Amino acid sequence: MTSIANQLNQINAEIRHAEAGAQRREFSVQLLAVSKTRPATDIIKAYQAGQRQFGESYLQEALLKQKELSCYQICWHFIGPIQSNKTRQIAAHFSWVHSVDRLKIARRLSEQRAENLPPLNICLQINISNEPSKSGFQLAELAGAVAQISELPNLKLRGVMAIPQPATDYQQQCEPYYQLYQAVKALHRPEIDTFSFGMSGDLKAAIAQGASIVRVGTALFGRRPGN
């Protein structure tokens, strides 16, 4: 068994343990393998060990991998910042987009998603810690953004994504996810069922506060080249 396969088994075990600790239904949380900067060979190893969902942040790199790995049944998620001039290719080549950070991007993705493809699953990126250096909707803008974006054709608004300020204290890790989860539930939109919360360092807190997708890269594939 490869080290990637070993790590994948360990991470999935941690997810199952966190689900049980939070009294969540087993397998209610999916692992998204963050494969940005990783070679296709690493993705194949994870795929052979059972992983099917992979997240990419750099469009041109992702398109090369998709071409090389076209024989595999991979579900590709785009999780990086989105420039307006990249929306056409993102709309054409991904099943999920987690990083819709403004209405303009949502409209472009909707307009550029081909009619012969299923609706593009999207999550709204929320700047939950109100960090000036981060993009995304403010929590106060959530209801308005949901109302407008949910009406766009060719998109399926599935949920929200957030990357809070780093914290080492468990309660501090929980707080922003709790705020966002409760804000979404207060909208009473049952079709919004996806909470893209948590990475390696706050996985337990994210799952305790409602995460349905956790994004893990380094813990699965090892440190990135140059780090």
In this structure, is the dihedral angle defined by the CA atoms of residues 6, 9, 13 and 19, taken in order, positive or negative? positive
Query: What is the pLDDT tens value at each position of the chain, 227 positions in all?
Result: 669 999 999 999 999 999 999 999 999 999 999 999 999 999 999 999 999 999 999 999 999 999 999 999 999 999 999 999 999 999 999 999 999 999 999 999 999 999 999 999 999 999 999 888 889 999 999 999 999 999 999 999 999 999 999 999 999 999 999 999 999 999 999 999 999 999 999 999 999 999 999 999 999 998 866 55
Handedness of CA 31, 184, 138, 177 (dihedral sign): negative
CB 215 within 8 A of CB 164: no
* Yes or no: domain 3-221 corresponds to CATH 3.40.50.300: no
Q: CA 101 to CA 156: how far, in whole Å? A: 15
Domain boundaries, the chain: 3-221
